[in-house]
Amino acid sequence: MSGIANAFRRHPELMVAAVLVLTVVTIGLVNPVFWQPSNLFSLLRASVVTGILGLAVLLVMLSGGIDVSFPAFAIAAMYLTVKAMIAWGFDSILPAFAMATGIGLLLGLVNAVFVHYLRMIPLIVTLGTGTAVRGFILGVVGTSQINIDQMPPKLIDFARTQLFSVTQADGSQAGLSAMVLVYAVVALLIHLLLRHTMLGRGIYALGGGEEAARRVGFNIRQTTFLIYGLAGAIAGFAGLLHGAMIWTANPRDMVGLELDVIAAVVLGGASIFGGRGTVIGTILGGLTLVVITNSLIILGIDTTWQRVVVGLIVIAATAATAWRDRKRIA
Amino acid sequence: MTAPLIELRHVGKSFAAVRALEDVSLSIGRGEIHCLAGENGSGKSTLIKVISGVWQPDQGELLIDGQRIESMTPRAAITHGVQVIYQDFSLFGNLSVAENLALSSELQEGRKLVSWRRVREIARRAIDRLGVDLPLDALVETLPTSGKQLVAIARALMSDPRLLIMDEPTTALTGREVAALFRVVRDIQSRGIAVLFVSHKMREMLEISERLTVIRSGRVVAAGPISEFDEAAITRAMTGQEIAAEGYRWKPSPNAAPLLEVENLTIPGQLEDVSLRILPGEIVGVSGLLGSGRTELALALFGMQPGYTGRIRIAGQEVRLDSVQHAIEHGIAYVPEDRLTEGLFLAQTIDRNMLATSLGRLSRAGVVQSGRAARDAAGMIREMAIATPTGDRPVTQLSGGNQQRVVIGRWLLNDPRLLILNGPTVGVDVGSKSGIHRKIRELARARGLGVLMISDDLPELVENCNRILVLHRGRLVSDTPVEATSETALGEQLAALA
Ligand SMILES: Nc1ncnc2c1ncn2[C@@H]1O[C@H](COP(=O)(O)OP(=O)(O)O)[C@@H](O)[C@H]1O
Ligand SMILES: [Mg+2]
């Protein structure tokens, strides 16, 4: 094996880092507007929710599973929480996020029950639970969108917090959303979990081989519940964050988002066969995806091509990781 | 005399209707290398699992240091110093060597956090202890099989075991790697650790073990110090039948036209100037050390080395074998060495595997004539005596010997003229092996098939071939009629080349 291939094998994030740099440089050359702080800040802001959801998917993919239920869980947690905030008249941030996270956690545990006790394939389980949860929200909880006028003001204020702002060449102000910091904290926590705790190593071990993980003494049930529970909790958290950032709670939101997020994670070097992937890679993958899909306009490409681009990225990134991992499935 | 380390007394274990173990008694002394032999399905793995606490025996008792163990669990077994290295090694390919080594002890100590420095220290100690060299940071999946095995052994030794059980450890190793493994095993023994070595290869048992227990159909049929056994005795015990080395007593008619003539076959860097002839009905053995060019020769004849120079004639007609397609058209069949990855479609049924290369012949206008296909497959299952009620079972349910029969049977459906077998009975147990040999000889004689048999197994060559070729560094160094050589003579010739 050549040195480069080996480096990519050991550090999957190198590949995506290279792709990201290449993408950014190309777009910047085509249209220097790209480099304006307002554009860069808005790209960073746009990668927050995709990125956090990507971390949820990363957990599941590391263990050798796949999750397509998280957009539904995110929306359910967000919609239920906002509804509750309005109905019960509370608008403090911490309880709100705790509630959304808790709803996501419960839903994630449902996935875990199916996957662990009924030994069902994660794709089928999460397709089912995702669809059921969406149906439940629309059929039982409500179909109407909650707009800015009804949204709890503190939630919106929170999401509008800026870390700092700079004055651009034309005199306008461009601020960096503080949500980037929230993203960084979540990412750091997941990174610490995965890299420095036995629970996290158990997730990698499970992705490397369930029987082997059992034999060295990992608790497979605990690990499975941790993975799906945590993925659900992160999704719930990200859902409310999303609602706060766009000032709307729309129960029909995020349809089809699972593909973008999975694309980001795979682009970030996670293996579709499990056992391989990192937080850094996922962050870079999310950033790359957001940069590409959001730069179509400044590249003068019709945005209807966005879905085509996402589809192609999924295929290309999956092909690249499958090629890298071909030895493992052979 | 002190009590043996581990003793099984009259142990029985059933799975539903299958009596996997019956009245098995066995004792392993401290620091002893004990070999457990038996054909596939004889109950070896079940016995291991009883010792390691995976299964509870239905009858009988298990004693450690003379103390009766009431109920053995995997955890209790580990506490008592029993470590098992499973056939699949149970390693994590996606994790580094260091982490693979450190994980179980970290878990055992109930650690919650990972210190990578400690992981490396633990791993370094484990490797030093085994006295081998392994790259700590390499992912395990990038190691060769022998390297993975060393990681598994190093990991097992970390918990200071008193008994190390290895389930068929040599199956996927080359000769040199087996020798290295044996050095490691002897070294382990020299520290007072007993080794239970599970195998069905006789040479290995005779070489490594001090005592031998043979089981057949779940019962102990022979046991004792290794000095009381020779190959014939072990074979007899394992199979319950006398498998005489009959030899291939067949003489080609002196003026038979050769089936295959190879002249000056050369592939730069792989084969040099190899010439040989095979008559119809003749079985020609090929031996040689690793890298001798044996496999390259087979691949060239099967059209997989299109860059060759030299002449190849089949039945007197000159041919150019530059694709597999061509080779098949000229009646050449190749059964590869690694049937699991190259020869079989593991996800498919026996029938589909059997028909894999004849679908073209069986179709009319692109549609497979399923009636004929089913008849052909069923006929071949009968002809090759494959042990299955029907052909629609997954091929993975068959034993190694039967899988090999499927691969050979598949080629016979194409009516080949030359059958190339690379390691025809690697990983096949003794009883099945002699069945396959008989079949090959019968095919050669009855159909006038020419056979090129590549093998590391010298008795196999001596028993089945008319002539034996020895290749070395791509050159043909000898071509001897079987009457003029013997297993020992061949062994010495090869040893001299090494
Ligand atoms: N878990 C099980 N359930 C049912 N039958 C089993 C099980 N394990 C082993 N057997 C049966 O017990 C017999 C002995 O198997 P095994 O111990 O695996 O043999 P070996 O390792 O010598 O090849 C076989 O007939 C096998 O089918
Ligand atoms: Mg076995």
Q: Report percent pLDDT > 90 for chain A.
A: 74
Residue nearest to atom 5 of ligand 1 (CA): B15
Mean pLDDT of B266-278: 91
Q: Report percent pLDDT > 70 for chain B.
A: 96
Burial degree of B99 (CB within 10 A; 0-12, 13-18, 19+) = buried
- Convert the pLDDT of each residue in B111-141 to its tens digit: 999 999 999 999 999 998 888 889 999 999 8
Considering only the beta carbons, identify the residue of A217, A274, A328 that sits closest to B104: A217
Within 6 Å (CB) of ligand 1, which residues are found?
B 15, 18, 20, 38, 40-46
Residue B36 has pLDDT above 90, yes or no: yes
- Inter-residue contact B445 to B464 (CB < 8 Å): no
Chain A closest-CA separation from residue B114 CA (Å): 5
The overall average pLDDT reported for chain A is: 91
**The model scores a pTM over 0.80:** no
Closest-lying ligand 1 atom to the alpha carbon of residue B38:
22
Angle, helices A70-88/A220-246, rounded to nearest 10 degrees: 60
Query: Alpha-carbon distance A275 to A157, whole Å?
Result: 40
Query: Hey, which residues 442-461 in chain B have their CB within 8 Å of chain A?
Result: none
Name the band, by pLDDT with cuts 50, 70 and 90, for residue A156.
very high
Name the band, by pLDDT with cuts 50, 70 and 90, for residue B426.
confident
Name, in order, each residue with C-beta under 8 angstroms of A33's C-beta and a sequence gap of 6 or more: A39, A298
Residue nearest to atom 8 of ligand 1 (CA): B46
Smallest CA-to-CA distance from B176 within B289, B295, B340 is with B289
Query: Alpha-carbon distance A243 to A154, whole Å?
Result: 12
- Contact criterion met (CB < 8 Å) for A212 and B90: yes
- Inter-residue contact A198 to B111 (CB < 8 Å): yes
- Inter-residue contact A170 to A28 (CB < 8 Å): no
Residue B20 CA to ligand 1 centre (angstroms)? 6
Name, in order, each residue with C-beta under 8 angstroms of B104's C-beta and a sequence gap of 6 or more: A216, A217, B155, B158, B159
Question: What is the pLDDT, as a whole number, of residue B341?
Answer: 61
Which residue among B14, B18, B44 has the greatest number of ligand 1 atoms within 8 angstroms of its CB, and so is best to mutate? Answer: B18
Question: What is the pLDDT, as a whole number, of residue A170?
Answer: 87
Closest-lying ligand 1 atom to the alpha carbon of residue B39:
22
Q: Where are the alpha helices (H) located in chain A, listed in sequence order?
A: 3-10, 12-30, 37-62, 70-88, 93-117, 122-136, 153-160, 179-196, 198-208, 210-216, 220-246, 257-267, 279-294, 306-324, 326-329
Residue B46 CA to ligand 1 centre (angstroms)? 6
Sign of CA dihedral B253, B256, B261, B264: positive
Rg (CA), chain B: 25
Smallest CA-to-CA distance from B359 within B368, B351, B349 is with B368
- Inter-residue contact B197 to B34 (CB < 8 Å): yes
List the domain range (segments joined by +) for residue A206.
3-329
Strand order of the β-sheet with B6-15 is B18-28, B6-15, B59-64, B67-69
Mean pLDDT of B28-36: 94
Question: What is the pLDDT, as a whole number, of residue A329?
Answer: 45
Query: Hey, which residues 329-358 in chain B have their CB within 8 Å of chain A?
Result: 341
Mean pLDDT of B317-343: 83
Find residue B419's DSSP bridge partners: B333, B451
Residue nearest to atom 18 of ligand 1 (CA): B45
- Inter-residue contact B449 to B416 (CB < 8 Å): yes
Question: What is the pLDDT, as a whole number, of residue A29?
Answer: 92
Q: Is residue B139 less than 8 Å (CB to CB) from chain A?
A: yes
Mean pLDDT of A125-129: 96
Question: What is the pLDDT, as a whole number, of residue B352?
Answer: 85
Name the band, by pLDDT with cuts 50, 70 and 90, for residue A141.
very high
Question: What is the pLDDT, as a whole number, of residue B90?
Answer: 87
- Contact criterion met (CB < 8 Å) for A208 and B92: yes
- Contact criterion met (CB < 8 Å) for A198 and B107: yes
Can you list the domains of chain B with their CATH numbers? 6-239 (3.40.50.300), 260-497 (3.40.50.300)
Name the band, by pLDDT with cuts 50, 70 and 90, for residue B326.
confident
Question: What is the pLDDT, as a whole number, of residue A2?
Answer: 55
Query: Hey, which residues 34-93 in chain B have their CB within 8 Å of chain A?
Result: 86, 88, 90-93
Query: Alpha-carbon distance B485 to A78, whole Å?
Result: 83
Mean pLDDT of A225-240: 98
Question: What is the pLDDT, as a whole number, of residue A330?
Answer: 40
Residue A4, number of CB atoms within 10 A of its CB: 10
The overall average pLDDT reported for chain B is: 86
Name the band, by pLDDT with cuts 50, 70 and 90, for residue B470.
very high
Question: What is the pLDDT, as a whole number, of residue A38?
Answer: 93
Chain pair A-B, CB pairs under 8 angstroms? 69
Specify the higher pLDDT residue, B217 or B242. B217
Give the total number of structural domains in chain A. Answer: 1
Q: Report percent pLDDT > 90 for chain B.
A: 39
* The two three-digit tokens of residue B97, written as one number: 């060597």
Smallest CA-to-CA distance from B346 within B409, B295, B393, B386 is with B393
Question: What is the pLDDT, as a whole number, of residue B241?
Answer: 66
Q: Which of A279-293, B256-270, B294-308, B432-446 has the lowest mean pLDDT?
A: B432-446
Query: Alpha-carbon distance B433 to A63, whole Å?
Result: 41
CATH number where A222 lies: 1.10.3470
Mean pLDDT of B89-98: 93
Residue B391 has pLDDT above 90, yes or no: no
- Convert the pLDDT of each residue in A83-95 to its tens digit: 999 999 988 999 9
Mean pLDDT of B173-184: 84
Query: Alpha-carbon distance A9 to A324, whole Å?
Result: 7
